[in-house]
A and B are shown apart, each in its own frame.
Chain A
């Protein structure tokens, strides 16, 4: 047996803050990745 689903109450601010933090950090990573030298060099190579 293992947990499959969790339902968070709107008043559970601790969990909501945690999930919001995850989303914010993920958005930051996405922005960093999209502007990375790795992506730039791969896009350049693709164009050659």
Chain B
């Protein structure tokens, strides 16, 4: 497996079973990568393969102070990549990570592109250890188009990968299906 340089990290688990990993960058940013259980419990019955071993995955960057400027830091994504591999090792290959690129700050398009660039860069280096799929969801508003991205990440060793892909398609169909 191709391994890029990455930041050292630590992890902790809360009383509900949610797991967080944290690391500090050379520029002073603190990143927390979280894996939350029970986020999708209301939908498990309908999409069991997709959700029974599912965690909501995401990450937050905490700026050390408001004057700290953004820096392009390739070690951030290699660290998150390594954290994902660590998480799959801990939780097993059946684990499914679901993510949602938020539209609250209107940066979801850039965030999704970053995600895709990161995934593509690993593929280009023949690292196929993770499989990622996302779908763009557009919701026309009165004065603008609201776009969010929903997706999942699994290990390439997940024995249910075909079934997970199918249930993700079923979920997409359920979103557009008229009310019963």
Contacts and interface: CB of A to CB of B under 8 A. Distances in A.
A36 B139 contact: no
Interface residues of B, number: 39
Which label, helix, strand, loop or mixed, suits the secondary structure of the A interface? helix
A42 B30 contact: yes
Contacts, number: 97
Given A23-B102, A43-B64, A6 B172 contact: yes
Interface of B: 10, 12, 20, 22-24, 28, 30, 32, 34, 36, 39, 56, 58, 60, 62, 64, 100, 102-104, 133, 135-141, 148, 150, 165, 168-169, 172, 175-176, 178-179
B143 to A, nearest CB: 12
Contact of B175 (A8, A10, A23): A8
Nearest to A41: B22
B138 A36 contact: no
A39 B62 contact: yes
